[in-house]
A and B are shown apart, each in its own frame.
Chain A
């Protein structure tokens, strides 16, 4: 059995036992904040721009010559939440595979970034997009139309990855 020792230093002192001075002290801290500068953001008029290290919703990179993804399915395999579905198809391009269908279920995604880490083509990266509002479960499943993002919008993240991955 655990014995709880009520030792000398654990007991409340006389002043603490009175409580009132302690409350006054606490109110003092609150009062002081009134004169400090405000840092509340007036969202959505005022928006926050995350840095490259931020892990927002995963997106597909759209390179100058088309999508980079080759539908290898590794992201789908590694995803701990089973959020990604990839269906491969054949193309005439040099890399024979491409995703006929690529869907991420944003209700499942936990923003772990594993998909980005495993991708052999640097084709899926975490974006800065943190505004994820859906009105139905169906809407939360993003297809290729919503996932493909031109590469120039993703430069921060790509640079971050090159440096730290």
Chain B
């Protein structure tokens, strides 16, 4: 194992590691633009220059010492780039000597010569690596009075990306990402010197399902999202941690919110799930949270939906459900919602109604899956839902037997949460034959048009809970949006403007939805049936799960957060924590 000295302190490196890697793992940040831990080394930005030296040795290999018994170090006359220099035994590195600082300032000056003064109109401002380094590692003024080079702006690279050639600092991160990770080698440098720019190969476009990741890794604002462009400044948004619910991978994400509206979704580093990436579908699949929401309980009166209060809705559900024999009711859980919600649905069905007619719909799309992140299981929590008990017994009705059972009159009432029959259209035709349909929904859809009682419930962005992903990793997430009922908990997690708005400010006129998570509705309903469930928050439901369901034993929300999610059954020996690399992010 090579031992090297960075700024006078001793560090151990693994064979083949570069200086910047050793430094990063030990918490030393060497400024850099083009280096990224997941990409190959390009070594073209020169920002990571450091002073490197080797100890002086005699012919027999022994180290030479000076009069003070310190080894004599021969520093190379030229600075070396830390991202491409391999760490070797007896290496000495200085990361902030005057020569290094001068080199960093010069590199910054060169980069800024042709960089437009675009910050006021650039979406990256506030989370820009170049801005940050201009502040930390630059002299603070420009000596360049001549004309800047002009290059094309608003170049369309694909369905989701716009490129601004003037802002590009030619770090080649996007080119390497396209080639190495997205496996779509369509980008290349053209021209030379200060006229260098990036072009698509003729007749191609960058439309990989992972294309938008280049927006995050681009250290400047050269690449912008066509969906997000100019919607908000980053410092006006709140970024809260969550989990993508687009498919069973469960990529870790941050949700950017302003005015209680999701404006964009970004990947969050999880070394064991999605690394630094996520797919474009996951990023752009948030509109249903913002629009067309069910925000009142409804009941059907003479074929029309009418708003009712939650208490009345519970009472109505109680009265109507009571009229059926338990074996005539079918409970349909959801692979789209949390373990907590499914667990209480199962508990309601088995303990209160004493029926095993519990099942869920699986949503597979073979075309969606690939060999990187995307899975053909398009629900975030199929495994979890099954684990907490959403499956029929051998004698009870499963979803496959459901159409049959409805036709034969075995099933007269349907209780379905957070799912619909979009992929099973034959069931829609049978809905008329049912006497009662109760549903929990986020949006108005074909099912709400047929339902008798509708409870409005929170989406993943508004509640707390856990998902189990395709690798059996249990991951915890917390709300990113406020509802009337989590307002106190969300307090300081809201964006600056939302937090401080008063009633006469127009910028706080967001829809404060009076909705609850499904488990809360189950609790009310069970208590109406005479049980005494006293769960007050999702965490208490989860404690129940971790006590009763094998695999979850010993897990708590805190532990799940600490270890980036834990694989089922491994609460006692989770995978080790590792340093998390963040290229650049919003620092308020």
CA distance A90 to B153 in the complex (A): 13
A137 at the interface (CB under 8 A from B): yes
Shortest Cβ distance from residue B150 to the other chain A in the assembled complex, whole angstroms: 11
The answer on a CB contact under 8 Å between A137 and B121 is no
The answer to whether residues A85 and B120 also contact, given A90-B230, A96-B153 and a CB cut-off of 8 A, is no
Q: Are A120 and B230 in contact, CB atoms less than 8 angstroms apart?
A: no
**Do residues B506 and A70 form an inter-chain contact, with CB atoms below 8 A?**
no
CB distance from A69 to the nearest CB of B (A): 9
**Contact flag A96-B154 (CB < 8 Å), given A71-B230, A72-B121, A73-B233:** yes
- Is B121 within 8 A of A96, CB to CB? yes
Given contact pairs A72-B120, A74-B120, A97-B121, A82 touches B504 in the complex (Cβ within 8 A): no
By a CB distance below 8 angstroms, the chain B residues around A108 are 505
In this complex, how many residues of chain B approach chain A with their Cβ under 8 Å: the count is 20
Q: Which residue on A lies nearest to B233, using beta carbons?
A: A73
Cα of A108 to Cα of B506 in the assembled complex, Å = 12
Q: Let me know if A73 and B229 touch, CB within 8 A.
A: no
Question: Bound state CA distance, A70 and B497, in angstroms?
Answer: 20
**Contact status B120-A82, CB under 8 Å:** no
Majority DSSP secondary structure for residues of A touching B = loop
Report whether over half of chain B's contact residues are helix, strand or loop; otherwise say mixed. Answer: loop
Q: Which of B192-247 contact A (CB under 8 A)?
A: 229-233, 235-236
Does any Cβ of B come within 8 Å of A147's Cβ?
no
A130 to chain B, nearest CB (A): 22
* CA–CA, A85 and B496, complex, Å: 12
Who on chain B is nearest to A94 by CB? Answer: B153
Instruction: Compute how far the CA of A74 lies from the CA of B126 in the bound complex, rounded to whole angstroms.
Output: 11
- From the candidates A70, A82, A141, name the one contacting B500 in the complex (CB within 8 A): A82
Given A73-B236, A90-B229: A105 in contact with B154 (beta carbons within 8 A): no
Within the complex, the shortest CB–CB distance from B151 to chain A, in Å, comes to: 14
Q: Would you list which residues of chain A between 87 and 126 have a CB under 8 Å from chain B?
A: 88-90, 95-97, 103, 105, 107-108, 120-121
**Which residue of chain B has its CB nearest to the CB of A76?**
B236
- Inter-chain contacts of A137 with B (CB < 8 A): 504
Q: How far in angstroms is the closest Cβ of chain A from B11?
A: 40
Docked Cα-Cα span, A73 to B235, in Å, equals 10
Most buried by B among A82, A138, A141: A82
Query: Which chain A residues lie closer than 8 Å to B229 at the CB level?
Result: 90
Cα–Cα, bound, A16→B125 (Å): 68
Is residue B507 contacting chain A, with contact meaning CB distance below 8 A?
yes
| B120 and A121 form a contact (CB under 8 A) | yes
Selected from A77, A85, A97, the residue in CB contact (under 8 A) with B506 is: A85
List B268-320 residues whose CB lies under 8 Å from chain A: none
Nearest Cβ on chain A to B162's Cβ, whole angstroms: 10
Contact A103 B120 (CB under 8 A): no
What residues of chain B have their CB less than 8 Å away from a CB belonging to chain A?
Answer: 119-121, 125, 153-154, 229-233, 235-236, 497, 500-501, 504-507
16 contacts between A and B (CB under 8 A): A70-B120, A71-B121, A72-B121, A72-B125, A73-B235, A82-B500, A85-B497, A90-B229, A96-B154, A96-B230, A97-B120, A105-B504, A105-B506, A121-B120, A141-B504, A141-B506
A contact set with B: CB distance below 8 Å: 70-74, 76-77, 82, 85, 88-90, 95-97, 103, 105, 107-108, 120-121, 137-138, 141
Question: Which 9 pairs of residues, A with B, have the shortest CB-CB distance?
Answer: A72-B120, A88-B230, A73-B233, A85-B507, A97-B121, A137-B504, A120-B120, A70-B121, A70-B120
Q: What 20 additional pairs, Cβ within 8 angstroms, besides A90-B229, A121-B120?
A: A71-B121, A72-B119, A72-B233, A73-B233, A73-B236, A77-B233, A82-B505, A85-B505, A85-B506, A85-B507, A88-B232, A89-B230, A96-B121, A96-B154, A96-B230, A105-B505, A105-B506, A107-B504, A138-B504, A141-B506
